[in-house]
Amino acid sequence: MELITQYFPAFLLVFCRISSFMVVAPIFSAKTVPRPLKIGLSFFISYIVFMQVGFNEKVVADGNFIFSILKEVLAGLLIGYVCYLFFAVVQTSGALMDMQMGLSMANIVDPLTGISAPLMGNFKSMLLMLVFLSINGHHYLIQALMDSYNWLPLDNDLFGIVQGGTLTEFLARTFADTFMLALQISAPLVVSMFLLDVALALLTRAAPQFQIFVIGVPIKILLGLAILILILPGFGTLFQMIFDRMFDALEKLFVVLKA
């Protein structure tokens, strides 16, 4: 009982960070993953991390323990949110493609998130997850979470770092970078659809008898699908670039949190 009261507060802090990471992290936060599996995985990962860092740091369950729990929950949410931003890139680019192709009215319910998602975004998101799992990316995520204790130990000053403003600046810059990446991914199809709209507008001026609203939508869908087929082989390299940027952003996040 004495050992439990001595080491349980440290284990609880570790469990709070890892379980909060599981709530927002890609792959792990999907609704298709059963909740008992998430809780059990969080518990076992917490136990492994606690065996590495928990015995080295003494945590006292005093009045500041509540703030320590809040700091660990915030740390886990930050790490998971940064990872989720790069997975949302394909959803954003897919929404831009659907809007230009005329498929924005045919959104479907994404079974992974439970919300309405664009057709192209949902398709590319599934491809992204398959590639991510095929390269054992979920192992790298867990490893990054475990390495976070080297940068942000249990006795961290996370609230002071947040108050300094560097973390907010990093999150804003990362969000802008991911949105710019989504624009770059969707650029080939968006530019093609824009040129097609210009061509249809010139055709309307030259031959007003054509029903542009009738023939324009199917032409845009067919051209969009043709362009998608052409750029589909490059998705593997594209996804690898997204993963590289995601892990680089995690490393920068740890540097900011350590400062």
Handedness of CA 231, 232, 233, 235 (dihedral sign): positive
Q: What band does 196 get if pLDDT is binned at 50, 70 and 90?
A: confident
| DSSP code for 62 | S
**Banded pLDDT at 227 (limits 50, 70, 90):** confident
Q: What percent of the chain has a predicted confidence (pLDDT) above 90?
A: 1
Cβ atoms < 10 Å from Cβ of 74:
17
**Pairing of β 108-109 and β 116-117:** antiparallel
Provide the pLDDT for residue 117.
60
Average pLDDT taken over every residue of the chain: 80
d(CA 120, CA 186): 10
For residue range 88-106, list pLDDT tens digits in order.
888 888 778 877 776 665 5
208 secondary structure, DSSP code: T
Residue 171 CA to residue 253 CA, distance in Å, equals: 9
Three-state SS string over 131-168 comes to: HHHHCCHHHHHHHHHHHHHHHCCCCCCHHHHHHHCHHH
Query: For the whole model, what pTM was predicted?
Result: 0.82
Convert the pLDDT of each residue in 127-184 to its tens digit: 888 888 888 888 888 888 888 888 888 777 788 888 888 888 898 899 999 988 888 8
